[in-house]
Structure 1
Amino acid sequence: MPRLLPSLLLILMSIASTVRADAWHLESQAHGVDVYLSDVPGSAYQQFRGVAHIKASVRTLVDLQENLRVACKWLYACESMRLVEVDGDSTWVYITTALPWPAQPRDMVLRVRSERLDDGTLVRHLSADPDKLPSAPGLIRVRQLAGEWTFRPLGDKDTEVIYQLQADPAGAVPGWVANRFVIDAPMVTLKTLRAVAERQP
């Protein structure tokens, strides 16, 4: 029986770590957007989850996301965005960012894999693919990123939108910039997306 104790302790510690990782707490509510944060084991950076209801169809929201010129206007800290490749259900997009001074600008190659669920929900899984393109001079390449967009239809023109992301920005980032980013990124992105989407015919 004593030999089982170390294994049992390891299992309990693993469960506790998972619970902590999934322990989302509401950090901010404004403009009809709820922002939740959660610690990430082994990372100095928190992950965020933004939730909003938008009076627009999933199709309208998808169109606004796939029009990269428009998407860069409502995506927080986006400086530029261009299509790299499309292969089956996956799309690669190159993005440069403009973070508040004194943080240096970043770039990333984002793989977006789309999944359609039976209830009409569209989930877009996000991951970094840093070696897809050569590094660009003057930019810090984001190498670790994982998240998803979820568009869940609630009616003909009513959609629950969830934007969740965890990333390591690489390089030095002032603490106040990192702390503001995890709140501003979902808040500004979803607020601006709603304003654009609800103006569509």
Structure 2
Amino acid sequence: MVTRRIWSLVLALAFTGLVQAANTVRIEPAEGGQWELASDRSQAQVFTRKVPGTKVKEVKMEAVIDAPVAQVWQTISDIQHYPDFMPYIDDIEIVGDADNGGQYVYHRVDPPLVSKRDYTLLIVNEADAEAGEYYRYWTQMNQFGPEPKQGVVRLEICDGSWALSRLPDGKTKATYWVYTDPGGKIPGWLANQANTVGLYDVLNAVEKRAKVQP
């Protein structure tokens, strides 16, 4: 989870209109805290850990993707086509560029059994193609996106990252981390279960798409 000090800084700057200065903060899991194995499927394992003061847990997947790292990176970077292959993505719109080279991207999702959700993220990419190392992170920046819509629940917490590296056998080592609250009246235990299962859905979608990349 982003440390409380950094998150408080981002919120404070948002209220003063100076949030651009905070966009250089690299979003990644904080050190420390015990990860617990939640599930294990073939070439992927999902871990969770508690976040003090909240009902929602951080979730992390460690996996091997059966595709070259450049093709996996191309897949997760192809954000404008997420509605074509990413689970539950209903709409995507790039709404602006950030000073740190990232982009503000509006998302609307249509998950099963509950109403639609939406949020705007700051997304930043870091790539070292020669080394075969890639990192993408995101954090909620709703103030840069559209106004809330009637009948759509606005997410207030959505931090995460992809870390990719090339493996000697041509496959990709991937770590996918997310800390998000689906909002609404969803119980904490159900939100945690949905977040855990949802990572496998994302992994399968990315691997399938990456395999057919040119």
TM-score class, shorter-chain normalisation, is 0.7 to 0.9
Counterparts of 1:11-30 in structure 2, within 5 Å, are 19=32, 22-30=33-41
Structure showing greater Rg: 1
CA contact 1:57–1:153 (8 Å) conserved in 2: yes
Counterparts of 1:92-171 in structure 2, within 5 Å, are 92-101=104-113, 103-116=114-127, 119-133=131-145, 134-155=147-168, 157-171=170-184
Q: Percent identity?
A: 23
Segment drifting more, 25-34 vs 43-52: 25-34
1:58 is matched with which residue: 65, 69, 73?
69
CA contact 1:54–1:198 (8 Å) conserved in 2: no
RMSD of aligned alpha carbons: 2.3
What is the number of residues matched between the two proteins?
181
Structure 1: state its 5+ residue gaps.
1-17
Supply the distance in 2 between the matched residues of 1:191 and 1:26 (Cα, whole angstroms).
19
CA contact 2:56–2:188 (8 Å) conserved in 1: no
Supply the distance in 1 between the matched residues of 2:71 and 2:96 (Cα, whole angstroms).
22
Segment drifting more, 86-95 vs 103-112: 86-95
Q: Whose strand proportion is higher, 1 or 2?
A: 1
Report how far residue 149 of structure 1 moved: 0.8
Classify 1:198/1:168 alpha carbon distance in 2 versus 1 (closer, same or farther; 3 Å): same
Structure 2: state its 5+ residue gaps.
1-30
1:54-90 Cα distance to aligned partner (Å, 9 max, x none): 1323321222123235323443332222222234520
Supply the distance in 2 between the matched residues of 1:69 and 1:91 (Cα, whole angstroms).
12
Letter in 2 for 1:184: V
Segment drifting more, 67-76 vs 56-65: 67-76
Regions of 4+ moved over 6 Å: none
CA contact 1:31–1:191 (8 Å) conserved in 2: no
